[in-house]
Amino acid sequence: MQIVPCTLQQHGAAVLDIFNEEIAHTTALYEYQARTPENIRAWFADKAAGRFPVIGAEEDGVLLGFATYGTFRARAAYKYTVEHSVYVHKDQRGRGIGKALMIELIAAARAQQYHVLVGGIDAANRTSVALHERLGFTFAGNIRQSAYKFGGWLDLAFYQLILDTPANPVDG
C-alpha cells in the first residue's frame, strides 16, 4: 500500500464510487442523493482552492480509500480548526487503511499549522469511533437525532484532536 496525493484525473472516478457506496449503504454520509462527476470536479476544485489535502491509499494503481479535511466553519476565528473525513472502500476495510490515512492527515494538519481536527461521526459507527479514540481523539459532544436516514434518527458525535500547532497563532 502506498500513500499518495489524490488528483481528479487519477482518482476522481474512484472517489466518486467510494462516496456513492457510502451514501447508498451506510450512515457515514448523511446524504440521500448520489454524487455526480460534476460534484466531484467541484469538490476537488474546492479542496485545491482551500489548500486542503486529499490523501489516498493505493495498491497496484487502485484507490483503497482517501482522507481529507476542509473548513470547519467559515468565520475567521475558526481558521485553525478543520473538519476531516476518511473513507475506505467497502472491500478494503479492516486492513488498517483508515488508520494509515488518518496518521498522514494529522501530519498534514500539523504541517499546515492547524490546531484542531474535528470529526463528525455517526454515533452508531463504533469502528470509526474506536479508530479516532486510538489516534488520541476525544469525545467533544453529541447532537442527538440530528439526521434522518434509512427510516431512523441518527445521532452525530463529534470527536476532536488538539494539535501542538500553530507555533504563533494570531488574530485576524
So what's the pLDDT on residue 164? 96
pLDDT at residue 172 tops 90: no
pLDDT in tens, 24-49: 999 999 999 999 999 999 999 999 99
CA-CA-CA-CA torsion sign (15, 19, 96, 143):
positive
Question: 133: closest CA among 155, 102, 97, 94?
Answer: 102
The structure's pTM equals 0.94
Architecture of domain 2-115: 3-Layer(aba) Sandwich (3.40)
pLDDT in tens, 39-93: 999 999 999 999 999 999 999 999 999 999 999 999 999 999 999 999 999 999 9
Indicate the angle between helix axes 97-111 and 126-134, nearest 10 degrees: 50
Each domain of the chain, given as residue ranges in start order, spans: 2-115
Half-sphere exposure of 171 (CA within 13 A, CB side): 0
pLDDT in tens, 104-135: 999 999 999 999 999 999 999 999 999 999 99
Report the share of the chain in percent with pLDDT over 70: 100
pLDDT at residue 148 tops 90: yes
